[in-house]
Amino acid sequence: MSILVKSDAKVLIQGITGSFGAKHAQLSIDYGSQVVAGVTPGKGGQFFEHGGRRVPVFDTVAEAARVTGATASAIFVPAPFAADAILEGVDAGLEVVVCITEGIPARDMLQVKRAMMGNMRTRLIGPNCPGIVTPGDGKDSYGGCRIGISPGYIHKKGHIGVVSRSGTLTYEAVWQLTSRGVGQSTCVGIGGDPVPGMSHLDIIKLFNDDPDTQGMIMIGEIGGSAEEEAAGWIKNHCRKPIAGFIAGATAPPGRRMGHAGAIVSGGKGTAAAKIAAFKDAGIGVAPTPSDMADTLLKMM
C-alpha cells in the first residue's frame, strides 16, 4: 500500500509548457506516472508529447480535472503566481496538490492556508519541496507514481516510509535504504518553508495508519517546532519504529540556513531541543546523515 497517492494516480502538471515543468513531466512519464493533463493558461488545446504519450494541455485546472479525471497535481509555476495555482487545484477538488515552487512570499502562503481551512479533501505538499514518490513494482518502466522532482531510480518498492523537510536528505535516506535492499512504501518531501502545507505530524499519522508501512525515517531541520510536535504525538501514539535526523546542529543562531524556515531565534527551534524531543519519544537519532538507514534497521 501507500499514503496519499497510489501508483495509478492520475496526475496533471501545472506549468507543463515551461522548461522545468516539461523536463519533470517527461521524467514522471518515464517513471510510469499516469500524467493525464497539463495546464498552462492561454495554451489550452495544445499537446505535450513524450515517449509515445500525447498529453492534452488545458487553460484551467478545473477543466483538466473534469475532462481527464485527474486527482493530483504538480505545480511548476513562478513564485508570484504559485499561490493562485495552489488554490486553483483546491477549488477543482484535487486530492493532492504538490507545489515545487520556491520563493513564494509567506504572506501568499498564509492566504492559502486561510483559504484551505476546513477543506477536508485537498492535501497540500510543499511549497519548496521535492514532492512525493510511491515506488512501483518495476513493471511499466518503474511502474510507480512520481509527483515532483525526486530522482525515480533511487526508489524501491517496500515497507519504509520517509518524510523530510530537506530534499537532498530525502534522496540520501531513500538511497541508503535501497542500497541495503530495503524498499519504501511512500517518500514525502514536505519542504522547508515557514508556512508549509502538510507537516511531519500529518505524514507520520498516515504512515502509522498504513498497514504496509513497517517503519519510518523522519528528517527535520532547525527552526520552528514541527519536529517537537510530531515527537510528542509519536511518544504517546505511534506503534512503529522511527529513526530521525536533525540537520543544522552547527548553524549560528539568527541566521537562515538554506530553507526559509530553517532559522533559530529566541532560543527556539534549536537542533539540541529537537534531538532531545526525539530521544524522549523513543525515536532513534542518527548521529550523521550517513547513519539514517542503519539506525532504523538496527531498531527493526
Cell of 155: 526508489
Task: Please give the single-letter amino acid code of residue 240.
Answer: K
CA 185, CA 208: separation in Å to the nearest integer?
12
Note if 24 is an active site residue. no
CA 142, CA 21: separation in Å to the nearest integer?
20
- CB of 157 within 8 A of CB of 133? no
- Helix, strand, coil share of the chain (percent; to 5): 35, 25, 40
Cell of 192: 522547508
Point out the catalytic residue in the list 24, 155, 200, 259: 259
Task: Please give the single-letter amino acid code of residue 77.
Answer: V
- CB of 134 within 8 A of CB of 186? yes
CA 171, CA 139: separation in Å to the nearest integer?
22
Catalytic residues: 259
